[in-house]
Amino acid sequence: MNGHNKNDRKNNRSNGLPIGLGIGIAIGTAVGAATRNIGTWLPVGLCIGLALAPALGHKEDDGNGLGDEQ
């Protein structure tokens, strides 16, 4: 046993997806309102948010070379 249980991993997950989606919705809504074409820009903003999510949710490596597989 390595001292880590299922609840520790669950609590340590980063929350990049909701933050990315929120940013994407905000960008899509702002551009859509400015261009009066929200039907096109809202899904584009969602795609931008999904693309940003992995970058926003990236956890720093602790230097042991194992990554998240401890």
Residue span of the structural domain in which 50 resides: 14-56
Give percent helix, percent strand, percent coil of the chain, each to the nearest 5.
65, 0, 35
User: Does residue 44 lie in a domain region?
Assistant: yes
User: Does residue 26 lie in a domain region?
Assistant: yes
Number of domains in the chain: 1
User: Does residue 46 lie in a domain region?
Assistant: yes
Q: Which parts of the chain sit beneath pLDDT 50?
A: none
User: Does residue 3 lie in a domain region?
Assistant: no
* Per-residue model confidence (pLDDT) at position 10: 54
User: Does residue 64 lie in a domain region?
Assistant: no
Instruction: Report which of 53, 51, 70, 52 is spatially closest to residue 61, judged by C-alpha positions.
Output: 70
